[in-house]
Amino acid sequence: MQIAVIGRGDSVIGFTLAGIRKAYETTSEDELISKIEEVMADPDVGIVVLSQSDFNALPSRLRGTLTESVKPTVIAIGAEQSVEMREKIKRAIGVDLWK
């Protein structure tokens, strides 16, 4: 299983420097949506990382799909805290890492 990062600017570059091979920089909302759909269909991807601001800018239907996805698990990171991250990880791997 691989980690994929999709987004704009520095966040993608940082993950690339950390060794993530599937890092995709996007410049528009249409490009972001297209890349998300492509990565979601990739059977090798187990975790998709997006910035919270990019996630919030997505159409509500796509946000709902990403929120409910178990494989790959979608994690939104950034200045805004994702209250659902613990539950998403627990659902994805079957273990509560905070216990």
Q: How confident is the model at residue 33 (pLDDT cuts 50, 70, 90)?
A: very high
Tell me how many domains the chain contains.
1
Percentage, residues of the chain above pLDDT 70: 80
pLDDT at 88: 65
Model pLDDT for residues 54-88, shown as the tens digit of each residue: 998 899 999 999 988 888 999 888 765 555 666 66
pLDDT for res 67 = 87
Q: Which domain holds residue 23?
A: 2-93
Q: What is the pTM of this model?
A: 0.78
- The answer to whether residue 17 is domain-embedded is yes
Does residue 92 surpass a pLDDT of 90? no
Beta strands 73-77; 22-25: pairing state: unpaired
Cα 94 to Cα 49, 70, 72, distances in angstroms: 19, 11, 14
What is the CATH number for 34?
3.40.50.10580
